[in-house]
A and B are shown apart, each in its own frame.
Chain A
Amino acid sequence: MLPQLQPALSEYYSDNAEPLKTRIFDSIWQTFNQPNSTRVVKPKILDLGEAQPDSFNFYSEQAGYLTIADCIQPLSELAWPEEENPNQALEKKIKEIIPPTFTQYDLILSWDSFNFIQPKILPYVHNHLLNFCTNKTIIHGFLFTSENRPKQPSVFKILDSGRIKHAVSNDESRQHTPLTPLAINKYLPNFQYARSVLMRSGLQEFMLTRK
């Protein structure tokens, strides 16, 4: 009997892969750009991932204010604290990773990030993120929902509002218990699940809106 073939993850590792056509990200942008939109035209964006030079042309034209939190790696390394008061210790560590600001954002980009944070730590991240939210803040995200996913968080580069290029820097993958956007939403109770779209090889694009 032939061994069961794993999903072809190699397509993700190629920088030349066909760009993803994002329905949700595109529609979010259309909402921002509607002439009579109640939202601001140039949104304030909090990107939880690392700085991507390719995305800067897009941001410079479209975003009013951008924060690169570059927090996925340190958040993924966070373990449950062994201190006497773990809640307080965890809150302190998260504050150090994402320093509080006075800015409230219209859009939070969580691209291949929630998968890398321990589920029991997610509610604490959620609580901290609330400091950065208005009552209309949207979370836009990507999640790998197949059993295999890249070992490191993937890199996403914005080409334009409807197309995002996806590439990662290594060739390894690992098995994990996939969390769907709905499951993620349980850890983020002040947001409600709005939409998700299944893309290639188990990658899901999703949107959560503030309750």
Chain B
Amino acid sequence: MSHAVSIAQYIEHHLTHLAYNVKTSQWQDDGSFWVINVDSLFVAWVLGFSFLFLFRYVAKRVTSGTPGKGQNVVETLLDFVSGMVKESFHGECAVLAPLALTIFCWVFLMNFMDLLPIDLLPRLFGSVGIDHFKIVPTADPNITFGLSISVFLLIIFYNFKVKGGFGVLKESLTFPFGPWLFPINLMFRCVEELVKPFSLSLRLFGNMFAGELIFVLVAAMLPWWSQWMPAGAWAIFHILIITIQAFIFMMLTIVYLTMAHEQH
């Protein structure tokens, strides 16, 4: 970090998205709704397409005989995810397991971007004239809410699909306190459902944003020769966090969708 840039500027630089306003056609984040965080979406796409490409590549050459190295890795992942799904969900649902797999792999990869050196990609993009680039998509609430709201829509969809409109209404009015306290029941149900997307996305976003911020702070505040120690320790700890956060997002999705399928 050069001394020409102040600490505050450095930190702010690292917290600014590469944004494009669709309405005004300008590369500027003016706080309006019509802005796209190009960096978040770009990294998310690159990571998503790369793991989907890898999976498709393996799935096309899949053999029930002796598996190769790639197939081994993918199979282990699939086995792990389908085991998690089967453990809690005991019904027929073609979407749930692939959904859980996609969430786990994608969120893990997006979280993993946090472990890249904090200045590496911004410098690289900076050298070709792109002055802002946030590398961790899951430290952007748009990305985490995008995931959790999709899951939320699926929860609502399956609630109505399994129980029917009347079933959902009946369940909302009579559970958990019986029909005489139906206003309270309904309120409980609404809060319970609405909390789900927030709990999913804010947990992930909070962890990743805080994790990134600590790397930024280490890089901003400490002399260069001592940064390796706190940043290294945090990175090692962060390996655990990114895996756990990806796992929790997947697990909660499974649990929520299982609850949507269950009749009270």
Whether both chains belong to one complex is answered with no
